[in-house]
Chains A and B, each alone.
Chain A
Amino acid sequence: MKQPKALFVGLGLALVAVFVLRGRLPVPVEAAVSGQAGDGEVNLQAGSAYLFIAGNAFVSDSSSTQFKANAVGGVSITGSTDRYMHAPILLPDGAVIYGIRFYYYDGHDPGYMRARLVRHNDPDFGARTIPVSIASPGPSAGYASLYQAAASPISIDNTRYNYELEVHWSTPSLDLRLMGVRVFYSPPV
């Protein structure tokens, strides 16, 4: 009866070794790591992944958009009525997006910024859906971030759609800075 015990010990050791080798040991969920609990970002499971795009990698909506990037990944719109910037979400087919975290610097009152995850519908160009939209709260808050979960998980289908992040400034100001957007997703299996 003791030989089976040895087998169990061996199997246990093997499982631990496999999990360690493949990096599948459970790790703290995001809230525990970042201290950002309470905003809906706590449901992420091991196996989730992150696409973190810097603000200064976004492109302007039009040539009339005046913008200024900074050295720490941020960008501000400084003029124009066309106050949007864009960045692609390039994730593999089958990935599932749960939500986005919007990093910003808001030193302007009452100005604010709004980040959106946009899916352009194919083949009906001109139509689009906005599964996630999140705005800085308005009164100046300095550096901050906010998380917004999608109402339902968004499964990436690059054959029929394309996906991007779109950020809008309510007013041009160097005190409104897009610092980046982090996309939370699980990779395809």
Chain B
Amino acid sequence: MMKILYWLLCGLTAFLVLLMVTAIPQSGSTILASPLPAMPQPLAGGGVWSMAGTGFVSEDGENSYEYQSWGGVKLTGVSGTSPWSFMNSSVELPDGATITSLTVYYDDSDLGADVTLYLRRNDGTGGYNDIASVGSFSTPGMGSETTTIIITPGSEVVDTFGYNYTLTAGFGSANVTLYGAKITYTLPVGMASMPAPTAAGETQALAAVDPAVAGLAEAEGAALYNDGQTVFLAPPPAGPAGARKETQDRAAALDSPSSAGVELGPLGGEAVYGWRAHTIAGSNFHPLNASTNHEWAAGGGRCVTSGSTWLVAPLDLIHGQTVHWIRFTFLDQSPENASMYLYRVDRQGNGDYPWSYNSDVSGGYFTTASPYMELTIDNHNYAYYFAVELGSSAAGNDLCALEIAVIYGDTVYLPLILKNS
């Protein structure tokens, strides 16, 4: 009997020791040898996804739609004879997550009609399930409605192998505006969790950088470089560091080792760890208004040929990640200028621009980079998108958006749509 108890005790001890040792959560890949900054507090093992109304694309190339201030969109062609028209958005959530709520943000000035969101999963062969639906059913004016009702039980568990996920916005009137959507979810046990939501305008504190890490940004590849004082997109200038070259010819910046790099920002006192880039081709932008005539351009760009000159693309980062730099690449062979704005909107008709840029250069391809920033993505309170204005009047194929890259710190490591890991 004593032997049995002894064996059990030995086994239990080994079990507990190994469990504690191996169950330490894995962090994301990092380029630093120094300890990572303290992780923000988890949000009860869950996360939040956010999208502005401007992130939705029309279901029909002939529908008329219009941008409304700070991230809203309305379908202007909806009439009594065709009372419903739709816009769609892709939804990308972590595999295995459980959807817990869906919120619509709107401005509804039509007592007889609504804007309604449908969260749907599609199997790619015509089969689908509605997961949740909510609309501007009860409150006129600017507002939001949230549902926690799962229409098809079981469909709330995200399965990115079997399904794609979409949000469809149905517009019952030309007098209803969609300002955005929010989805909350929980994560399976063992998956990384999200940081706590931040209050509006608050940013997460980051640890100071360890001097020993100077130069380690090179590990990210030749396109990123830091000399211990400044971070560059290319090898540093031959002369003294610090002379800002906000915009310069991208070929010269990246092709010639002897040329000056594009300065991204200072390192001093800021944490630089686990950098990743999130890159959107210009061809994935869509027009802000239906009146825009636009064209695909070689190199994955998009140009505006007539009409409204604004293009837009959502910035879909994980809640809690921190944006450090934004890199904008464009073709400018026109006397007109290219402007770029990062919008942060509260989906209630308010917002700001954490960074904007206006080009006054001309003569080829250019890349510009923002100053260093610490913009913590807060999907609870905001949605984010990029808007590009290609001239005050259309410049045709002489002024095109090529690419926007966001370089962010992986304070949160949660691989999107991770299966079997």
Q: Do A and B come from one complex?
A: yes
**Given A14-B19, A187-B421, does the pair A125, B124 have CB atoms closer than 8 Å?**
no
Chain A residues in 8 Å Cβ range of B12: 10
A34 to chain B, nearest CB (A): 8
Query: Can you pick out 16 interface pairs between chain A and chain B where the beta carbons lie within 8 Å of each other?
Result: A2-B7, A6-B11, A11-B18, A21-B23, A52-B163, A54-B90, A56-B57, A63-B292, A69-B59, A88-B280, A103-B125, A123-B255, A125-B298, A125-B300, A161-B279, A187-B418
Chain A interface: which of B204-212, B281-289, B350-358? B281-289
What bracket does the count of chain A residues touching chain B fall in?
35 or more
Q: For the complex, would chain A's binding face be called helix, strand, loop or mixed by DSSP majority?
A: mixed
**Given A6-B8, A24-B421, A88-B284, does the pair A56, B166 have CB atoms closer than 8 Å?**
yes
A148 to chain B, nearest CB (A): 15
Number of A-B residue pairs having CB atoms within 8 Å of each other in the complex? 282
Q: For the complex, would chain B's binding face be called helix, strand, loop or mixed by DSSP majority?
A: mixed
Alpha-carbon distance between A57 and B56 when the two chains are bound, in angstroms:
8
Alpha-carbon distance between A30 and B3 when the two chains are bound, in angstroms:
47
**Residues 1-46 of B at the A interface (beta carbon under 8 Å):** 3, 6-8, 10-19, 22-23, 26, 28-29
Give the nearest-CB partner of A21 in chain B: B190
A132 to chain B, nearest CB (A): 16
**Given A18-B23, A21-B23, does the pair A56, B59 have CB atoms closer than 8 Å?**
yes
**7 additional contacts, CB 8 Å, given A56-B57, A72-B126, A159-B220?**
A13-B11, A13-B15, A48-B420, A51-B160, A72-B128, A73-B164, A144-B125
**Given A73-B166, A91-B416, does the pair A57, B88 have CB atoms closer than 8 Å?**
yes
Alpha-carbon distance between A159 and B327 when the two chains are bound, in angstroms:
10
Q: Tell me if A162 and B403 are in contact (CB < 8 A).
A: yes
Tell which of A60, A62, A63, A179 touches B125, judged by Cβ atoms closer than 8 Å. A179
A152 to chain B, nearest CB (A): 19
Q: Contact mask B240-257 → A, CB, 8 Å, 1/0?
A: 000000000011011100
Q: Tell me if A69 and B279 are in contact (CB < 8 A).
A: no
Chain B residues in 8 Å Cβ range of A87: 90, 284
B86 to chain A, nearest CB (A): 7
- Number of residues from B at the complex interface, CB < 8 A: 98
Chain A residues in 8 Å Cβ range of B120: 71-73
A93 to chain B, nearest CB (A): 5
Give the nearest-CB partner of A94 in chain B: B29
**Residues 263-303 of B at the A interface (beta carbon under 8 Å):** 276-281, 283-287, 292-296, 298-301
Give the nearest-CB partner of A73 in chain B: B122
Residue A9 CB within 8 A of the other chain: yes
Q: Contact mask A25-58 → B, CB, 8 Å, 1/0?
A: 0010010011000000000001111111110111
Q: Tell me if A86 and B126 are in contact (CB < 8 A).
A: no
B139 to chain A, nearest CB (A): 26
Residue B202 CB within 8 A of the other chain: no
Residue B179 CB within 8 A of the other chain: no
Q: Tell me if A120 and B281 are in contact (CB < 8 A).
A: yes
Chain A residues in 8 Å Cβ range of B153: none
Chain A residues in 8 Å Cβ range of B402: 125
Tell which of A17, A71, A84, A145 touches B124, judged by Cβ atoms closer than 8 Å. A145
Alpha-carbon distance between A48 and B88 when the two chains are bound, in angstroms:
28
Chain A residues in 8 Å Cβ range of B284: 59, 86-88, 164
Q: Tell me if A187 and B415 are in contact (CB < 8 A).
A: yes
Tell which of A18, A47, A54, A187 touches B164, judged by Cβ atoms closer than 8 Å. A54
Q: Tell me if B29 and A90 are in contact (CB < 8 A).
A: no
**Given A68-B61, A91-B416, does the pair A23, B299 have CB atoms closer than 8 Å?**
no
Name the 3 nearest CB pairs between A and B, nearest first: A10-B11, A73-B122, A125-B299
Give the nearest-CB partner of B92 in chain A: A51
Tell which of A3, A84, A92 touches B415, judged by Cβ atoms closer than 8 Å. A92
Residue A81 CB within 8 A of the other chain: no
Alpha-carbon distance between A86 and B255 when the two chains are bound, in angstroms:
28
Tell which of B124, B254, B295, B421 touches A46, judged by Cβ atoms closer than 8 Å. B421
